[in-house]
Structure 1
Amino acid sequence: MRIFDGFGQRISLAMAGKKSPWGGGSDDGGTGDTPGGSQGGGDKPKGPRNPWLPPGGTSDDGRRAPNIEDIFKSRGPEGPRRSGGGGGPGGPNFRFPQRPGGKSWFPLAVVAIVGVGLLATSVHLVAPQEEGVVKTLGNYTRKMEPGLNFSAPFPIETVDVEDVEGVRSVRIPGNNNQAKLILTGDQNLVDLSYIVRWNIKDLANYKFRVVDPIETVNEAAEAAMRAAVAETQLDETFSGQGRAAIEMDVRERMQRTLDGYQAGVRVLGVEIEKADPPAQVVDAFRDVQVAEQNADAARNQAQGYAQQVLAQAEGEAEAFDKVYAQYRLAPEVTRQRLYYETMERVLSQTDKTIVETDNVTPYLPLPEIRRRSQQPVTTVTAPEGQ
C-alpha cells in the first residue's frame, strides 16, 4: 500500500505541473521545462536519471517526468525487473547450448532419451529359473525362454517375467492359533493345520487362465483335505502312517483339480503340521488316549507272558521226546536215571535229614536248629530305675 501511495503522489505532482522529484526541471523557477525534462532546447538535462524508465540510449538520457505506463512496465509481479542482459540458469534469457554449426542440442537430447527408453523396454534378460510371457497390445502372444530376448518397445509389447522353478508354500490356516475343524469318516472332528508346496508348471496358464492363482491353490487344498479326511478314521489321522496316506491323497486330488482348471500349477507336496482334537474336548480325549495306552501295555504284557509259557512248554515237550527216544533204547537205565533226577530236583527244594547208621534217633530237627542258630539274637535292655 505504501508503494502505491507513493505512485499516486508522483502522478499527482506530474499532472499539477510541479517540479518532478527526480529532476528534469530548471533552476529558474520552471521556465523552459519541456515534457522531456530538458532545458533550453538541446542542452543536456540536469538532475538524476529517472529510475522508472527502461535502460537504453534515448535522446534525453532517461531524464524526463515519469508516466504511469513506465512505472508498471518497469515492475514485474515479484518486484522491479533487473536491468541488463541474461540471468542465471533458467532465467528469462536462458538458452540451450549450441552445436558447432549453431544449431541447438535439444532435439538430439530428446531423440537420445527416447532411444534409450525404447532400447530398455525392448531388451530382456531372463534368468535360468525364470520364464516370460509377451503381451502385444494387451493380448498374450508368446513365451520367452531363459536367455537374451527382444520385443517391440513399450507400449506395443509388454513382458512379465516370473520364477517358475522356485518352491512356493501356503499355510492353511494362515494363523496358527486359528482352528481348522474337519469331519472324519467316523463322525469326529479333528483340528488340522498343513502346508502345501507348489511351483509354476505353465506360466501362460498361470497368468491368464485363472484370476487369482494363489487363492485357487488355497481353495483346491481345502477341498482336497476335507475329502481325504472324510474317508479316514479319527485314529488314523493321529498316526504317522495315516498322515502319510492323507498327504499323498490330498496331493493327487489337488493336482487333478488344478489340471482341470488349467491353472498352470504343479503341486510338489503336502505336509500335515498338526492333527489334534478340538480344544473343547482335548482333556477328555487325552484321558481316553491314556486309557488306550494302558490297555495296549497290558495286552502286550499278556502276549509276552503267553509266548514265554508256550516256548517253555515247547522246550519241555522237545526234551521229553528226546528222553523217550533214549528210554526205548534202554528202558531200565533210563528209568533209574529219571528217578535220580526227579529225587534230586524235589529234595533240593526241601529241608531233609539223612540217617544211615544204627543207634541214632530216627528224627533230629537239625534244619530247625540250624535256622534258629542263624537268626540274630535280640537283646532287651531294661529302663533305668526299675
Structure 2
Amino acid sequence: MAWNEPGKDDKDPWKNKGGNNQGPPDLDDLLKDLGNKFGGVFGGKSSGGGGKSFSSVGIGLALVVAVLVYAFSGFYTIKEAEKGIVLRFGQFAGTVEPGLRWKWTFIDRIIPVDVQTTRDLPASGFMLTQDENVVRVEMQIQYRVVEPRDYVFSVTNADDSLSQSLDSALRYVVGHSRMDDVLTSGREQVRQAVWSELESIIERYSLGIIIVDVNFKDARPPEEVKDSFDDAIAAQEDEIRFIREAEAYAKGIEPRARGRVKRMEQEALAYKEQTVLDAQGAVARFEKILPEYQAAPEVTRQRLYIGTMEKVYSNTSKVMVDVDGGNNMMYLPLDKIIQQHSTQQRSVTIPNSTLNNTNTNPPSSPAISGRSDRFNSGRD
C-alpha cells in the first residue's frame, strides 16, 4: 500500500512532529541537526555557532581526503618491456618510458604497449599457383612493435591488418610461382619474396611494426595427389644427391690427374736434359778419341772393337766358342751352369778336354745337343 494513499497521512515520511505537513526537510537544517548531535565530538557546542564550526571543519577534512585520494589515484606503473601512450582529454600527448609515473586522474589516460616482445602470426590456406595447381602453404612471421602511436592509432586493429596483409602477400607470391618451386627448390625464394611484399604493403599503412623473420613452415599438395608428388620430390632429391656425388668425384680425380700430368712433364724435362747431356758427353768423348785415331788408326780401331765386345759380352750369359778355328761352334750356357752351381752348393769344373771335344754338350740343353751333333756330322 502506498504511503501517500488517501486517509493514511500518519505514514507520511516527511511529516514532522508538530503535525504540520511542510514537505521534505531543508538540507541546511539537516546539516545543522547533524552538527548539533556531533558537535561535542569536535569540541563545539550543540548551539547554532557550534553547527557552523562543524560544517567548516567537516568540509575542510573532506577536501583534504579528496585531494589525497586524487593524488594517490594518479600513480601508475609502466613495465620494463612497455611504453605508455598518454591521452589528455582523448588527444595524444606523448609517450612515457617504463617506471613509476603519475597522471591527472579523469584527465589523462594511459595505454601501455609492449615494444620488446616478439610476436608470432601464422598464415595458411589452399592457394593456386602460376601453373594452375593447388597447393597448401603454411607460413609464420615474427614481428615487433617499434612505434606505439602508429600501432594504436594508424588503423583500427594493427594485428588484424597485419594478418590480412600477410595473407595477401602470400597469395600474391604463390600465385606468381610454379608448384615445383613452392614444394622443392624455390622455397627460399618464396620466403624472401613474401617478406619483401609484406613489408611493402604495411609500409603504406604505417602500422608501427617491424618484421623480424618469416618462416616457411610447410608446403604440400592436396591429399589426392600427395603420393605422386612425394615420388617426384624423392626423385629430385636423388638427382641432387647424384650431382653432388659426381662433383665430389670430379674434385677428387682432377687433382690426381693434374699431379700425373705434372709428373710426366717433369720426367719429360728430365729425359730431355739427360739426352742432351749424353749427347754432349758423346761429342766430347769423340773429340778426345779423334786425335788418337788420327795418330794410330789401327790401334784405336782395335781398342774400340775390344771395348764394344766387352760391353756386349758383359750383358749376356751365353758364350759361343769357335773350336779349332773351324766352322763348328760350341755353346756354353753359363746361366744354367751358374744356377746349378748355386743350387748344389758346390764348384763345377769344366776340363780342357771338354772344350776340345765337339761331341760333348751340356746335358741340360737338348737343343744345343742336337746342334752339336749336326756340327759333328758336318765335320766328319
TM-score, length-scaled by structure 1: 0.50
Distance 1:288 1:265 in 2: 40
Mean CA deviation greater in 301-310 or 112-121: 301-310
Q: How does 1:290-369 map to 2 (within 5 A)?
A: 290-298=234-242, 320-322=264-266, 324-325=268-269, 328=272
Structure 2 counterpart of 1:171: 122
Structure 2 counterpart of 1:54: none
Query: Does 2:163 correspond to 1:218?
Result: yes
Q: Choose 1 or 2 for highest CA Rg.
A: 2
Query: Does 2:173 correspond to 1:254?
Result: no
Query: Does 2:60 correspond to 1:131?
Result: no
Length, aligned pairs only: 244
TM-score, length-scaled by structure 2: 0.50
Distance 1:279 1:361 in 2: 89
1:100 CA displacement:
4.7
Counterparts in 2 of 1:199 and 1:108: CA distance versus 1, 3 Å: farther
Structure 2 counterpart of 1:198: 143
Distance 1:288 1:320 in 2: 47
Specify which of 86, 109, 116 is matched with residue 158 of structure 1.
Answer: 109
1:277 CA displacement:
2.6
Q: How does 1:139-154 map to 2 (within 5 A)?
A: 139-154=91-106
Distance 1:146 1:304 in 2: 58
**Matched AA of 1:157:** D
Q: How does 1:1-386 map to 2 (within 5 A)?
A: 99-101=42-44, 103=54, 111=63, 114-115=66-67, 117-154=69-106, 156-173=107-124, 180-238=125-183, 242-298=186-242, 320-322=264-266, 324-325=268-269, 328=272
Mean CA deviation greater in 248-257 or 311-320: 311-320
Classify the secondary structure of the residue corresponding to 1:161. Answer: strand
Q: Is the 8 A contact 1:96 1:106 kept in 2?
A: no
Distance 1:124 1:256 in 2: 38
Aligned-residue sequence identity (percent) comes to 20
1:129 CA displacement:
2.5
Q: Is the 8 A contact 2:184 2:233 kept in 1?
A: no
1:71-96 CA-to-partner distances (Å, cap 9, x unmatched) read x99xxxxxxxxxxxxxxxxxxxxx99
Distance 1:313 1:193 in 2: 49
1:51-74 CA-to-partner distances (Å, cap 9, x unmatched) read xxxxxxxxxxxxxxxxxx9xx99x
Q: Which consecutive residues of structure 2, in runs of 5 or more, have no partner in the other structure?
A: 1-7, 12-36, 46-53, 279-334, 337-362, 368-380
Coordinate RMSD, CA, aligned:
4.3
1:219 CA displacement:
0.8
1:160 CA displacement:
1.4
Q: Is the 8 A contact 1:134 1:143 kept in 2?
A: yes
Q: Which consecutive residues of structure 1, in runs of 5 or more, have no partner in the other structure?
A: 1-68, 74-94, 174-179, 335-355, 363-386
Classify the secondary structure of the residue corresponding to 1:216. Answer: helix
Distance 1:304 1:165 in 2: 47
1:152 CA displacement:
2.4
1:198-217 CA-to-partner distances (Å, cap 9, x unmatched) read 12222222212211111101
